[in-house]
Structure 1
Amino acid sequence: MTEHIENRLRSFYFSCMATNGDLELLEKSCQVRLVEKDHKVESSISDYFEESIFREANQMAQHYMTFYCLERSARNIIVGKLEAIHGGGWWGEKVPPNIQTSASQNMQRELDAGVTPRSESEIDYTTFGELGEIVKANWADFGDIFKSTKAFTKIMTNLNVLRGPIAHCSPLSDDEVLRLKLTVKDWIRLQST
């Protein structure tokens, strides 16, 4: 699949997610059900928590999904590009040493905790901010995808700030929901121009 088609599909997917979020807001304000939901999860989880917390979690779930897709997509772009250009040893050759160390420590922390490892790939143990640093450290390889270093840095910074409340279970205000939607559109546009 060509990069152009992938970018269009990614843009379409994020537009659908945004539309779904708008439908849910409309449902809430008009107190009418427009989208059928899976009630099995609601009935099991909602029995244990306050209704207000459950409703808030339900609203925040769409933003988590947006960010999950965004972060996984960024990881795929990085791996695909660096592996295509530098081969299988790209991690040791192209990732800044401090990020390699951080990923190794995160991998060891999971191993020591005795939990199922999230991945065998080091990139999955990096933070969102570190993903941006990997791209900037290898800008010559990514300049054909992300057309402007300044725009890339600005968008990544905005996304990293917006990620905080989502990752740490705090509700987003209406302004920040709008900012997230616009910043995701900026991210897609940056790759499409």
Structure 2
Amino acid sequence: MDKVAELFILKSAAIRADLNRVSGEQKIRADKSDLESATDALIAPHMAQIDHQIRIAAERMAEFYQLFYMLENHIRRFVESVLNEAYDDQPWWSKKVPEDVRKYAKGNKDRESREGLPPRSQNPIDYLTFGHLGEIIKSNWDVFAGLFPNCEIERLEKVVARLNLARGPIAHCGYLPEDEVVRLKLAIRDWYALSE
């Protein structure tokens, strides 16, 4: 049995090396800068101390972070493009986004600036959380309703709430058990079904 496990580990390492090589060649993922690679070396001895079970859980959770990263940023761009088109000459951010949402974005940007962080964006919508995107859609339902033709606002609210609940453990280094993984994937499907 030990030889089977050893062979599996060696094959997995070879496959991972090939995937990394192909990913780099095809520019599937962004390459690390020299500075980032150098800082990897600074923390490597510390990361080596981390328990194997935590490493396995981290690899598993990375899949869900990636799913939610894509979904949230896709919705962010969707909200922005719809409002840009609907209010092309008007500053929709200051007139069509709820005040508490605008304050949150400004507070987030100001806090990061005070800490000396480089700005993540010039676009205030990039300083919001997933739940805020739902608030913007709700407060502009007259614009978005036509894009969700078979959907009442209450249904949209429920889907956004389910997604936001699933986001918590992903964003805050929790772990999703299998039932929650299924719920997350169904909620993602539900989001896209809203516009069908």
Superposition TM-score, scaled by structure 1 size: 0.76
Whole-Å separation in 1 of the counterparts to 2:88 and 2:15: 45
Whole-angstrom distance in 2 between the partners of 1:36 and 1:107 = 41
Query: Residues 37 and 151 of structure 1: is their aligned pair in 2 closer, same or farther, counting only changes over 3 Å?
Result: farther
Q: 1:69 corresponds to which residue? A: 70
RMSD of aligned residue pairs (Cα, Å): 2.7
Q: What are the superposed Cα offsets for residues 139-187 of structure 1, whole Å, 9 maximum, x if unpaired? A: 0111122232122111000000000000010110100001011111111
The residue number in structure 1 matching 2:16 is 37
CA displacement at 1:126 relative to structure 2:
0.9
Residue from 146, 155, 161 that aligns with 1:151: 155
Amino acid at match of 2:110: Q
- The runs of 5 or more residues in structure 1 that have no matched partner are 1-29
> For residue 184 of structure 2, what is the aligned residue in structure 1?
180
2:116 matched residue in structure 1? 114
Structure 2 CA distance, aligned partners of 1:37 and 1:141? 46
Distance (Å, rounded) in 2 between the aligned partners of 1:69 and 1:176:
18
1:139 to 135, 138, 141: 141
Name the count of aligned residue pairs. Answer: 163
Instruction: Give, in angstroms, the shift of residue 47 of structure 1.
Output: 2.2
Residues in 2 aligned to 1:161 and 1:36: alpha-carbon distance in whole angstroms = 35
Task: Supply the AA of the counterpart residue of 1:53.
Answer: I
Partner of 1:5: none
1:163 paired residue number: 167
Distance of aligned partners of 1:36 and 1:142 in 2 relative to their CA distance in 1, 3 Å threshold? farther
TM-score, L = length of structure 2: 0.75
Hey, what does 1:47 align to over in structure 2? 48
Moved over 6 A (4+): none
Return the offset for 1:67.
0.4
> Are the aligned partners of 1:155 and 1:187 in contact in 2 as well (CA < 8 Å)?
yes
User: Could you tell me whether the CA contact under 8 Å between 1:155 and 1:186 is conserved in 2?
Assistant: yes
> Could you report, residue by residue, the CA deviation over 1:107-157 in whole angstroms, capped at 9, with x for unpaired residues?
100100001111111001111111100000000111122232122111000
The aligned residue for residue 94 of structure 2 is 92
What secondary structure sits across from 2:79 in the alignment? helix
Q: Relative contact order (alpha carbons < 8 A, sep ≥ 6): 1 or 2 greater?
A: 1
Contact 1:46–1:54, Cα closer than 8 Å, also in 2? no
User: Where does the alignment leave 5 or more consecutive residues of structure 2 unmatched?
Assistant: 1-7, 22-36
Question: Match for 1:179: what amino acid?
Answer: R
Residue aligned with 1:143, SS: helix
Q: Does 1:102 align with 2:104?
A: yes
Match of 1:190 in 2: 194
Q: Residues of 1 paired with 2:179 and 2:146: CA distance?
A: 32
Deviation of 1:79 (Å): 0.4
